[in-house]
Structure 1
Amino acid sequence: MRKYLDANIEYNTLNMPKETWLKLRKNGIGGSDASSILNLNPYRSSVNVYMEKIDENIEIKTNMKMILGKKLEDFVAKEFCNQTGKKVRNLNGMLRNHKYPYAIANLDKVVVSENAFLECVVTNSYCKKEWSEEVPIHYQIQCYHYMAVTGASHCYVCALIGNEEIKIYKLDRDQELIDYIMEKEEEFWNKYILGEDIPLPDGSEDYSKFLKNRYKNIEKKPLNLFIESKKLSKLDTLNDMLKEIKLEKSKIEQEIQQEMKDHEVAFIGDRKITWKWQSRNTIDSKRLKEDFPDIVKDYMKTTETRVFKVN
């Protein structure tokens, strides 16, 4: 079996169909999963990782952002080489280390003559501030995950930001942090993927969707819950706070609008504010039902949702 540093190259991914690659990813925790498991990924929750690993269905997601990111990966790697004088190469493999059998790794590039790899990132201009001084934490965790699997001593991250700026960072191996990350990954894999438990609620939209999909059958008989009543008291307090915040937000917006009067654009310092008329075409459903009830009936669609209320 081929190796890269301390890791075995378990599968050759050169020309591997996307569906096959996605199926193999279900057999371990990947680098992009790691920060979600630690609840440090602002874009993806731990329950999303859980659902992807246990679901036998393969969903191939493709959008222009993903296509451009893949196409620009080689460009970013070339810029890294031009600016640093280093050389990189493709590895084309899915990696696994016997020390962490639950973890897998797919590297963008490996750095020639160094025990290091390169991660290529393509992001938009809205992330400029996030990348201004260091690699964002969720990307750092991904890199430390790869260092754990490979045994690499360091790595480089090269980011193309908004098609206008290249940022290059070096991350050195931090064994204490790596041990912590891998401990959490092992716990997640054994407890949730191999075990019968499900991740604890985290407040994410993903988790709400997960609960609605998991508990579709309705049991009419009431259930006595053994949850502390102070939970409901806290919920009441939070709802009251949200009402106050919403009211205060509307008040400030109204004060600004009152100052803007008929102007549709205004500035406060370098902050731009717009208050513009917008129009959209909608169907007058009430009139349509009155004039063509039979036609409307043929096109009616019933949707169901499970509504949560506390009285």
Structure 2
Amino acid sequence: MRTNRLVSTLEMSHDDWLQWRRTGLGGSDIAAICGLSRYKSPMEVYLDKLGEIPPIEDNPKMKAGRILEPVVADWFAEETGMKVIRQNAIFQHPRHPHMLANIDRWLPGQNAGLECKNTGEYAKGDWEGTTAPTEYILQANHYMAVTNADRWYIAVLIGGWDFQWRVIERDEELIKNLITIEEEFWTNNILAQQPPALSHQDTNYLKTTYKDSVADSTVDLPEEAYPIIKSLAEARQLIKVAEMQEETAKNQIKGIMQNKEQAYWQGDLKFTWKANKKGIRSFRVIGGDE
């Protein structure tokens, strides 16, 4: 299968690049439409492709990603001894034209690509172990589907100094599922202009879209809203159970601490229970919510 080189990005303006992105689904969209992204919802992808929301304004984090991409790529090449080259193009799946790939680097002679990431120290836990975060595994397999590659490397710079890399081998079953999911989303949502279901990530979208209310207006919920009502009731009940479980665990820790201010577990400070000037003790979970 030969990949289509859809358009060159060598001298393409940023605005033109954004327009080309809207002609299909790229690697950064995949986790979102699968409902597995921590950063973006299916609704955001839908609105972006239809041009109904402005693109994210450039910010220091995005600028750092652009500036550090060649640094991460060169670091990967030096660390592994593998050659990497730019492609300067948007690629398109030959049989599924809505599947696009704007890849960071290609590894000649390997039939493989490289995705470069830059993140903060806060994300260090995402890279523990030998695998990569789910979002990037999906992104890599999407790229492999488009380019017919055998594997994809992911290089990440954490906190400006901690360099790591992973290799994601081609997963035929996952690619098959991604093709189906992307086909359905593109056809049933984008082309049909049918919005996907709202998710927990759409709170701000709803606040800004419906910021005003019509006085004394009402709506009758349709029959198909029943599963949603049931889900909400079940979630609220689970919250109550979780709150009781949390309070019980806290009290049991307090019972062990008694009048001590700090509690350690295997050498690490885990809990504090200190009194303020008024003599009121406040319990705190280190690294978590109170």
Partners of 2:73 and 2:123 lie apart in 1 by 20
2:150 to 148, 153, 176: 153
Partners of 1:39 and 1:252 lie apart in 2 by 32
Q: Contact 2:6/2:89 (CA < 8 Å) preserved in 1?
A: yes
Indicate the residue corresponding to 2:132 in structure 1.
135
Q: Deviations over 1:114-163 (max 9, x none)?
A: 21111111122333332222022210111111111111222211122223
Q: Deviations over 1:51-86 (max 9, x none)?
A: 111124542422222211221111111111112211
Indicate the residue corresponding to 1:41 in structure 2.
37
* SS of equivalent to 1:72: helix
Q: For residues 1-12 of structure 1, what are the structure 2 equivalents within 5 Å?
A: 6-12=2-8
RMSD across aligned C-alpha pairs, in angstroms?
Answer: 3.1
Partners of 2:59 and 2:207 lie apart in 1 by 26
2:191 to 185, 191, 194: 194
Indicate the residue corresponding to 1:61 in structure 2.
57
Q: Deviations over 1:203-243 (max 9, x none)?
A: x132x444556667758355253247676455334324424
Q: Contact 1:73/1:120 (CA < 8 Å) preserved in 2?
A: yes
- Evaluate the alpha carbon distance shift between residue 217 and residue 94 of structure 1 in structure 2; reply closer, same or farther with a 3 A threshold: farther
User: Which structure 1 residue ranges, 5 or more long, are not aligned?
Assistant: 279-311
Q: Contact 1:50/1:192 (CA < 8 Å) preserved in 2?
A: yes
The offset of 1:244, in angstroms, is: 4.5
Q: For residues 101-116 of structure 1, what are the structure 2 equivalents within 5 Å?
A: 101-116=97-112
Partners of 1:108 and 1:230 lie apart in 2 by 43
Q: For residues 213-252 of structure 1, what are the structure 2 equivalents within 5 Å?
A: 218=214, 220=217, 222-223=219-220, 225-227=222-224, 232=229, 235-246=232-243, 248-249=245-246
Q: Contact 2:48/2:55 (CA < 8 Å) preserved in 1?
A: no
Partners of 2:56 and 2:232 lie apart in 1 by 38
- Evaluate the alpha carbon distance shift between residue 14 and residue 275 of structure 1 in structure 2; reply closer, same or farther with a 3 A threshold: farther
User: Which structure 2 residue ranges, 5 or more long, are not aligned?
Assistant: 277-290
Q: For residues 292-311 of structure 1, what are the structure 2 equivalents within 5 Å?
A: none
Given the two structures, how large is their TM-score scaled by the length of structure 1? 0.74
* SS of equivalent to 2:5: strand
* SS of equivalent to 2:6: strand
- Evaluate the alpha carbon distance shift between residue 214 and residue 64 of structure 1 in structure 2; reply closer, same or farther with a 3 A threshold: closer
- Evaluate the alpha carbon distance shift between residue 16 and residue 257 of structure 1 in structure 2; reply closer, same or farther with a 3 A threshold: farther
The offset of 1:25, in angstroms, is: 0.7
Indicate the residue corresponding to 1:80 in structure 2.
76
Deviates more, 1:168-177 or 1:245-254: 245-254
- Evaluate the alpha carbon distance shift between residue 37 and residue 234 of structure 1 in structure 2; reply closer, same or farther with a 3 A threshold: closer
The offset of 1:274, in angstroms, is: 6.2
- Evaluate the alpha carbon distance shift between residue 276 and residue 9 of structure 1 in structure 2; reply closer, same or farther with a 3 A threshold: farther
Indicate the residue corresponding to 1:297 in structure 2.
none
Q: Deviations over 1:150-207 (max 9, x none)?
A: 11222211122223322222222222221211111011000000014221243x132x
Given the two structures, how large is their TM-score scaled by the length of structure 2? 0.79
- Evaluate the alpha carbon distance shift between residue 224 and residue 140 of structure 1 in structure 2; reply closer, same or farther with a 3 A threshold: closer
Greater Rg over alpha carbons, structure? 1
Q: How many residues align?
A: 271
* SS of equivalent to 1:88: coil
Partners of 1:34 and 1:20 lie apart in 2 by 21
* SS of equivalent to 2:163: strand
Partners of 2:231 and 2:91 lie apart in 1 by 46
**One-letter code aligned to 2:143:** Y
Deviates more, 1:68-77 or 1:236-245: 236-245
Report percent identity of matched pairs: 32
**One-letter code aligned to 1:142:** Q
Q: Deviations over 1:27-49 (max 9, x none)?
A: 10001101111112222221111
* SS of equivalent to 2:194: coil
